[in-house]
Structure 1
Amino acid sequence: MQVTRVARILAAGAVCSLLLAGCALNERPGDAPPAASVLSGTISATGASSQVAAQEAWMAGFQTANVRVTVNYEPTGSGTGRANFQAGASSFVGSDRAFTDDEIAAGGFRACIGDELVEVPLYISPVVVAFHLDGIDTLDLAPDTLASIFAGRITRWNDAAIAADNPEVALPDLAISPVHRSDPSGTQETFTRYLALTAPDAWTHGITDKWPITGGESAQGIAGVKQVITAGRGTIGFLDASQASGFGQARLLVAGEFVAFSAEAAAALVENSPLREGRAAGDLVFDVDPASAPAGSYPIALVSYLIGCQQYADAGTAALVKSYMTHMASPEGQAAAAANAGNTPISEGLREKVLAAIDLIRVGTEEP
């Protein structure tokens, strides 16, 4: 699936209800006509499927305000998106993790002049543990229990560990079918980070965007995982919150209490996380530690990044990427995404840092 200029069309007229967030950025009766935009051209990206609903809203608003601009976004998954960006096949990338220190040190970003990047966290959302069990809408799952399910040690829903977490639930004697991503995924890395840091004895496979063990079921992208969970009985997987409606959902143990997911609870985790030290001025990366989640927060929060070059060879590309990222970071852009995707808008303090990072984007011959 590719999200393209159709987002602008859907944002207008009688089908406005399909993209309420985007429509909020369009003209209302009585509004003065917007000033004509001087921007024109096309920019394209591939990347995180978690961002699809947010990208629909962002593109609708941006393309409505800039009628000669086309933004294309293809949800290939974060790993493929980063590879495409490094190969110079896209103008920017959406990724559920930032480039690592080693990846940046290795360089070779063919989309850029030089290897300095702008990486800004513009999509923050809970990662929901979703399951399909007839008649059960909510389960409490402690870290060791959840990790043992995905490690293949707990194989039936009426296992004693699950029963201990849920003493008042009539659990079925049914096989568990864990579902994971077949493609490299930042959402998957966020999930394995939670397992590795909160249940290291039960999950011994580390933090990885590629599923590290055999067994269970696999599917391409968030859409594929969602389809497999829907089609099966006894299935369990992990999904971005924007895709998790209609499933049973797990509450996770934090500071002695089980916490349901919400945008606010995910924000509490991220807001208590430091920015990584030693990064360049335009490289804003959070160090999120689910094992240190404060009481009341939700411990699996996806911090998804928009990534571009600090220096582009083409002036038109630099202007479009800079303007599009600025729109995504704006209060209007963040509100539109939240209305369409249910994610957490960034705080005012973080927005100030994000806009300063985006302001570093320029054509290669320009001076900072």
Structure 2
Amino acid sequence: MKFQRSGYLAGIALTATLALAACGSDNNDGGTGSTGASAAPGSCGTGSLTAQGSTAQKNAMDEWIKNYQAQCSGAKVDYQGTGSGAGVQAFISGTADFAGSDSAIKEDDLTKASAKCGSGPAINLPMVVGPIAVVYNVDGADNLQLDASTIAKIFSGKITKWNDPAIAALNSGAKLPSTAIQAVHRSDESGTTDNFTKYLSKAAEADWTFSNAKAWKAPGGTGAKGSDGIASLVKSTPGTISYVELSFAENSDLKKAKIKNGAGEFTELTGDSAGKTIEGAKVTGTGNDLTLSIDYNTSTAGAYPIVLVTYEIACEKGSPKAADIKAFLNYTSSTGGQSALGDLGYAPLPESVRAKVATSVAAIS
């Protein structure tokens, strides 16, 4: 099922009619779709930018770059999905003009990055909302419902059968088989793993004792490399359950569980439901830094609680390419830029967050 346009976040005004043909995947080559939403007149950069980092936002970046360069003939942006950690280090070393990261830059790296900027601090700009789907392959559970405690017990090996009483209690009437559960996790270090385990550590504290990290820490289970590896293994193997970005779940036509939020609702993953969780996030950064603290126990009605936000890390002041960085990020943070993400399995930023990001981008000099 394609990402629901009706799920676009309240308050986001579409500035163009979209006819995008590109579909998100690790192997996205940019496709042949329309150029999507336009950059604002007079806002085009004229130079070249080099950036790298988060693979979770790579498909969004590919689409943005395609659209931006089509509208801005003098601009060139090269973004490589090398991973969040590599992106941050490239930014600190000066080989990347800005970096993409699945989490805000840590304090020690922030000091180094700000020193690289010179006249201004490095700032975190939330730019891409990547909902994380809990995907599964089991007969008799087309509309599986799960809560944080049960998910934690499954991935820590405490629940091992699909007809376990804990799962059955959440799915009245479902014909759950006695099949063994095969929990699948990322074998490589991943921001998706970091955010998924952050959700478990916050929403199921009593049942998840492994904290959160990019590397999988819980015992047992089966590892698969990359989001495409996760999707492929779940698609081909009955009895499996895993976590993966929405675009990969949809591209592989995987079943997605409804997740219980802090309001007691079992919520389907849509752009609207993921956006409601981000809309309730608190800004913990200062000035133009927009580091967000996400409430994984959100009691907002209709909110889907398992989400990640990927950031662009840039110099607020001092970069010799400030004008070009500002022009490109002005496009990505615009309503048009954000609306281009829906067909790729992302959720646009809620308008309340998008407006703050656009203001921070405007301060880059």
Is TM (by shorter chain) over 0.5? Answer: yes
- C-alpha separation between the residues in 1 aligned to 2:354 and 2:53? 22
**1:126·1:241 contact (CA, 8 Å) conserved in 2?**
yes
**1:21·1:337 contact (CA, 8 Å) conserved in 2?**
no
- C-alpha separation between the residues in 1 aligned to 2:203 and 2:20? 43
- Deviation of 1:184 after TM superposition, in Å, equals 3.0
When residues 347 and 144 of structure 1 are mapped into structure 2, their CA distance, relative to the original with a 3 A threshold, is: closer
- Residue 268 in 1 paired to residue 282 in 2? no
Which residue identity does 2:220 align to in structure 1? G
- Deviation of 1:213 after TM superposition, in Å, equals 2.5
**1:128·1:241 contact (CA, 8 Å) conserved in 2?**
yes
- Residue 253 in 1 paired to residue 231 in 2? no
Query: Alignment identity in percent?
Result: 33
- Superposition pairs of residues 310-325 of structure 1, within 5 angstroms: 310-314=316-320, 317-325=321-329
SS of 2:356's partner is helix
When residues 234 and 118 of structure 1 are mapped into structure 2, their CA distance, relative to the original with a 3 A threshold, is: same
SS of 2:341's partner is helix
When residues 75 and 351 of structure 1 are mapped into structure 2, their CA distance, relative to the original with a 3 A threshold, is: same
- Superposition pairs of residues 211-360 of structure 1, within 5 angstroms: 211-245=216-250, 246-254=253-261, 255-276=263-284, 279-314=285-320, 317-338=321-342, 340-360=343-363
SS of 2:118's partner is coil
Which residue identity does 2:156 align to in structure 1? A
- Deviation of 1:37 after TM superposition, in Å, equals 8.2
Deviations 1:279-306 (A, max 9, x none): 3322101111112332321111222211
- C-alpha separation between the residues in 1 aligned to 2:82 and 2:292? 23
**1:46·1:74 contact (CA, 8 Å) conserved in 2?**
yes
- Deviation of 1:102 after TM superposition, in Å, equals 4.6
- Superposition pairs of residues 47-86 of structure 1, within 5 angstroms: 47-86=53-92
**1:118·1:282 contact (CA, 8 Å) conserved in 2?**
yes
Deviations 1:13-62 (A, max 9, x none): xx9734587533369xxxxxx97987433322222222233222211111
Which residue identity does 1:55 align to in structure 2? M
Equivalence for 1:165? 170
Deviations 1:202-238 (A, max 9, x none): 1011122221233222233322322232232222111
**2:54·2:84 contact (CA, 8 Å) conserved in 1?**
yes
> Where in structure 2 are there 5+ consecutive unaligned residues?
1-18, 23-30
**2:157·2:219 contact (CA, 8 Å) conserved in 1?**
no
- Deviation of 1:259 after TM superposition, in Å, equals 1.1
The one of 131, 138, 154 aligned to 1:126: 131
Deviations 1:80-133 (A, max 9, x none): 32233333332212222111345424x256863367112111112321111122
Equivalence for 2:37? 25
- Superposition pairs of residues 80-159 of structure 1, within 5 angstroms: 80-105=86-111, 107-108=112-113, 112-113=117-118, 116-134=121-139, 136-159=141-164
When residues 272 and 201 of structure 1 are mapped into structure 2, their CA distance, relative to the original with a 3 A threshold, is: same
Q: TM-score by structure 1 length?
A: 0.82
> Where in structure 1 are there 5+ consecutive unaligned residues?
1-14, 28-33, 363-368
Equivalence for 1:4? none
Which residue identity does 1:294 align to in structure 2? T
- Deviation of 1:152 after TM superposition, in Å, equals 1.5
- C-alpha separation between the residues in 1 aligned to 2:92 and 2:142? 42
- C-alpha separation between the residues in 2 aligned to 1:188 and 1:208? 7
Equivalence for 1:42? 48
The one of 188, 206, 212 aligned to 1:207: 212
For this pair of structures, how many residues does the alignment match? 336
When residues 293 and 16 of structure 1 are mapped into structure 2, their CA distance, relative to the original with a 3 A threshold, is: closer
> Which is worse superposed, 39-48 or 158-167?
39-48
**1:197·1:291 contact (CA, 8 Å) conserved in 2?**
yes
Which residue identity does 2:330 align to in structure 1? T
Higher helix proportion = 1
When residues 148 and 321 of structure 1 are mapped into structure 2, their CA distance, relative to the original with a 3 A threshold, is: same
**2:38·2:68 contact (CA, 8 Å) conserved in 1?**
no
**1:335·1:345 contact (CA, 8 Å) conserved in 2?**
yes
SS of 1:49's partner is coil
- C-alpha separation between the residues in 1 aligned to 2:43 and 2:352? 29
SS of 2:57's partner is helix
- C-alpha separation between the residues in 1 aligned to 2:105 and 2:72? 30
- C-alpha separation between the residues in 2 aligned to 1:72 and 1:110? 24
Deviations 1:130-162 (A, max 9, x none): 112245432111211100111121122222221
RMSD: 2.7
